[in-house]
Amino acid sequence: MTTDLLQRGKTIKLAVFDVDGVLTDGRLYFLEDGSEFKTFNTLDGQGIKMLMASGVQTAIISGRKTPVVERRAKNLGIPHLYQGREDKLVVLDELLGQLNLSYEQVAYLGDDLPDLPVIRRVGLGMAVANAAAFVREHAHGVTTARGGEGAAREFCELILRAQGHLEAANAAYL
C-alpha cells in the first residue's frame, strides 16, 4: 500500500461500490425462469459494515438492476442505492449534492469502463485486481484481491487504516 493511497484515504467521507465484478465475481447466473442470482463475499460485507461504523457513508451505483442487490444493500445497511444507471458520474453528482460533499471526499471501487469516469474524478479511485486493463491503468490504485473475493474488504481496510480506525474496528471484535 502506497503512501499516496493512504494520503488519499484520509479525507474520504463516502465510499461507493460498483456491483458486478466488484462486490461479485462478475459472473451473471440466470435460472430457467429468467431470474438471476449473485454471490457476495462475507468478508466484503463485514468491511463495509466496519467502514460505516467508523463514520464513512456508503453507496452502490450499478448499471444493472436486480432485487438481489437491493436485498444485499438493505442487509448491509447501505443507505444509498442506485441501480440501472450507466451514467455513474451523473448519479454521483446528484448524491454529492444531497450529502454536501466534494469529489475529493469520495472513494470509488470499480472494474470496467462505465466506472472509469468516476474512478478518474474522485479523491480515491481504485480498481479490483481483475478489472479491465485500461481501468487498472487509470486508477489511483489496484487491489490485490479480485472482485467478489475480498477486494471490497481490502478497499475498506485501506480507508480505515488511512483514517486511523482499522485497529479499533478490528479490536471491537476481541
- 70-127 confidence digits (pLDDT tens): 999 999 999 999 999 989 999 999 999 999 999 999 999 999 999 999 999 999 999 9
CA distance 127 to 109: 6
In the 3-class helix/strand/coil scheme, how is 69-87 assigned residue by residue?
HHHHHHHHCCCEEECCCCC
Q: Which domain holds residue 128?
A: 3-172
Number of independent structural domains in the chain = 1
Under 8 Å between Cβ of 20 and 131: no
What secondary structure does DSSP assign to 115-137, as a single string? GHHHHHHSSEEEE-TTS-HHHHH
| CATH value at residue 26 | 3.40.50.1000
* Position 49 pLDDT exceeds 90: yes
> Is 112 within any annotated ligand binding site?
no
CA distance 138 to 44: 23
* Position 30 pLDDT exceeds 90: no
- Whole-model pTM: value is 0.95
> Is 20 within any annotated ligand binding site?
yes
